[in-house]
Amino acid sequence: MTELDDLDIRLLKLLQKDATLTTKELANKLNLTPTPIHERVKRLERDGYIKKYVALLDNQKMNKGLVVFCNVTLKQHEKGIGKKFVNDIVSLKEVTECYNVSGQYDFMLKVMVKDMPEYQNFIMNKLASIENIGSTHSVFVMGEIKDSTELPI
């Protein structure tokens, strides 16, 4: 893997803001020709700096306006049990992010659903069916202050 230079950083910043920019548009913004920009983008993709391109959807318009951070504590922490928990969580479409955390809880889940009844159904019928959960603690998002997909580079 190659070291990132200043041009790579500037290119990545532009792509983080708008991944739909064409090679020609990127080249114009960076005062270069399209060929070296195309080659750099391909290298950044090949080297894994750019993992994928996605469309970011509006959760309100998609009827997923209730965002909940659900903290989970496991009863047991053996390797196999933890792996099964992770596999079970990954299969739940309502869970958009899952982090293994330190401190009072073992995992933090970001759950996106329509409303409180849908969240209650998620807790009672989906999350409760996963083995080895000792306790959960839900934190409901009242307002979104900052939401960014950009890495600070």
DSSP helix/strand/coil, 131: coil
Look at residue 2 in the predicted model and tell me its pLDDT: 74
What domain count does the chain have?
Answer: 2
Same domain? For 83 and 127 the reply is yes
Lowest mean pLDDT among 75-79, 123-127, 141-145: 75-79
Tens of pLDDT, residue by residue over 39-85, are 999 999 999 999 999 999 999 999 999 999 999 999 988 888 889 99
Maximum alpha-carbon separation in the chain: 58
Domain residue limits at 41: 6-46
Q: What is the pLDDT of residue 1?
A: 65
Report d(CA 69, CA 75) in Å as an integer.
20
Average pLDDT, the chain: 96
Q: Are 98 and 109 in contact (CB under 8 A)?
A: yes
**Domain for residue 10, yes or no?**
yes
Question: pTM value?
Answer: 0.89
CATH number at residue 41: 1.10.10.10
Q: Is residue 145 part of a domain?
A: no
SS3 state at 133: strand
Residue 59: what residue type? N
- Run of H or E residues at 96: strand 95-100
Structural domain contains residue 126: yes
The reply to whether 32 and 84 lie within a common domain is: no
